[in-house]
Amino acid sequence: MAHVPLISLLLVALLLLPNPAAISTAESANESEIDRQALSFLQGITSDTLGVLSSWGGNASLHCSWRGVTCGNALPRRVVSLQLNSLQLVGELSPSLGNLTSLTRLDLGNNLFSGGIPEELGNGQSLSYANRANNSLTGGIPPGLAGSSSSSLSKLILSRNNLSGQIPATLFANASALTRVDLRMNSLTGAIPPFGRVTSLRYLCVTENSLSGSIPPSVGNVSSLRFMLLGQNKLAGSIPESLRHIPELLDLDLSFNGLSGHVPLPLYNMSSLRYLSLGSNFLAGQVPSDIGYSLPNLQVLILQNNNLAGLIPTSLEHASNLQVLDLSNNSLHGRVPSLGSLARLRQVLLGKNQLEAYDWQFLASLTNCTQLTKLSLEGNMLNGSLPGSISNLSTGLETLLLGSNQISGSIPNEIGNLVNLTALSMENNLLSGGIPATVGKLRSLFILNLSKNKLSGQIPSSVGNISQLGKLFLDDNDLSGSIPGSLGGCLGLVQLNLSSNSLDGFLPKELFTGPSLALGADVSLNNLTGEIPEDIGRLVNIVLLNVSNNLFSGVIPSALGRLFFLSSLRMEANRLQGPIPASFGRLLSIQYIDLSRNELNGTVPESLENLAM
């Protein structure tokens, strides 16, 4: 055998060894091809009305330049971001997305995706941002999306979908990277899972679901929380005292649940709180007297619709950042404290309690609150006369609700200075005197409710200047005179109630030529005379019409048959004559008709037999 030099053998061996560069190139090409194929989820998109994905396809090696696709700079160039939010895309999410193992950001929010979230999306340990909010996704949340200590997921946003089932028990178990979880406005059920080593979570929102059970005390371990929003669910039990261990909590919303017991006192000492909403629960106890000092940063305090008792703390005047105060629908008593030092105050909602007022000093103090837009005191025990200082309230005031109290005296003429009012409600009091003509200055008014008082005199014609007026309630007073034709200028009027007064004269035709009165018109229990005008047939959208217990005469207008949406017609106890119009057979929506105690003659039209009353 011939002697082969050693150097030759070494050269042959080196030639036979695999080329590392070739291996790296092949692996890179393979990984890149996997990413490109993973992007084939485009096939699941059934509609792309904006044509935003027209760049997808063509040269496979250029997928990193497709719209919404971002690849890393290092070789191999893997897909690291897929951002296709707000593009009106329709379709389902493909499991192939799970093969994008280097993906760090996935944003498909605000589209029209439906179907379930693929389990395979939990494969990517690199994913740090997942947004599929505001779609129509169904089914459950894949347990693999988060929960492992190796997961990089920082933000999970699945809000405004149709997701159901329970929140995965692993979600808060050991996800140390999680900073934001937003699951609001879905159909999730079951309990909120316990919290483990979740050391970075700052934002938790599960509002508007159907979650039940109690709030896990372990939430107190999440000391990093800044926003904890659990409102509008079916949570029960008490508020855990462990919340005291979240030292920098800013916003806490537990409203619209079934929580009971007393509010833990330490909660009122969390000085970082800006927003505290515990309304619409079954909470009892009193609001601490020092709350204005212990919560110095508070901007919004909502405790409405609970079982709270006691006084409204006077210390609230020291909560200098307070903008919204809602203590309505509780059992609070005593006087309303002066809040005039709260320069940022925008809403004061204290209705449906047992509050009293004698000198109305609190109202005078509110004149210093120049940003006030809503003042609600209805359903209390306020008495005495309204002071003229009411006119000095913020000109930006939009809502003033004083109904169902024991307020006496007259309505101040100065009420007309509140020119931005959209709702003025003083019903069910002891008010007397006339309706001031200055109400005609309230050009932005939509609701004017002065019913169930002792008001007298005529309806001021200036009311017709309120072209935006939608609802006018003056019933159950002692008003007299005729109905002003100027009401026809209230083109937006959809509901009118002038019943139970002493009004006389004719029904003005203008009332039927401008407003739609779609929700109804009630002028019953007055002394109105004359004929009911044929123009009443112009109210083609009206649902309820009551002209009973007056002195109307003449025939029933056949034009009433044009009121196709009319469901209730009351004309009893008048002096109407003649036959029942055959046109009544076209009242296909009618449910109730009363024509009794008139002077009608003739037979009941056969056309009425077709009505489903």
pLDDT digits (tens, 9 = 90+) for 97-147: 888 888 889 899 999 999 999 888 776 667 888 888 999 999 999 887 765
Strands (E), 64-135: 69-71, 79-83, 89-92, 105-107, 112-116, 129-131
What local confidence, expressed as pLDDT, does residue 1 receive? 43
State the pTM of this model: 0.89
pLDDT digits (tens, 9 = 90+) for 459-492: 999 999 999 999 999 999 999 999 999 999 999 9
What local confidence, expressed as pLDDT, does residue 28 receive? 45
Q: How far apart are CA 61 and CA 53, in angstroms?
A: 16
Q: Enumerate residue ranges in the chain where pLDDT < 50.
A: 1-2, 4, 6-29
Q: How far apart are CA 95 and CA 402, in angstroms?
A: 59
CA dihedral 304, 308, 313, 315 (to 10 degrees): -60
What local confidence, expressed as pLDDT, does residue 52 receive? 83
Return phi, psi of residue 238, to 5°: -100, 165
Neighbouring-strand partners of residue 106: 82, 130
Beta-carbon contacts of 548 under 8 Å, excluding residues fewer than 6 positions away, are 524, 525, 570, 571, 572, 573, 574, 594
Neighbouring-strand partners of residue 520: 495
Domains of the chain with CATH codes: 27-134 (3.80.10.10), 373-516 (3.80.10.10), 539-613 (3.80.10.10)
What local confidence, expressed as pLDDT, does residue 14 receive? 34
CA dihedral 257, 262, 267, 273 (to 10 degrees): 50
The tokens describing 108, both together, are: 């498909």
What local confidence, expressed as pLDDT, does residue 34 receive? 63
What local confidence, expressed as pLDDT, does residue 6 receive? 38
What local confidence, expressed as pLDDT, does residue 152 receive? 81
Q: What is the DSSP letter of 46?
A: E
In the chain the first and final C-alpha atoms are separated, in Å, by 118
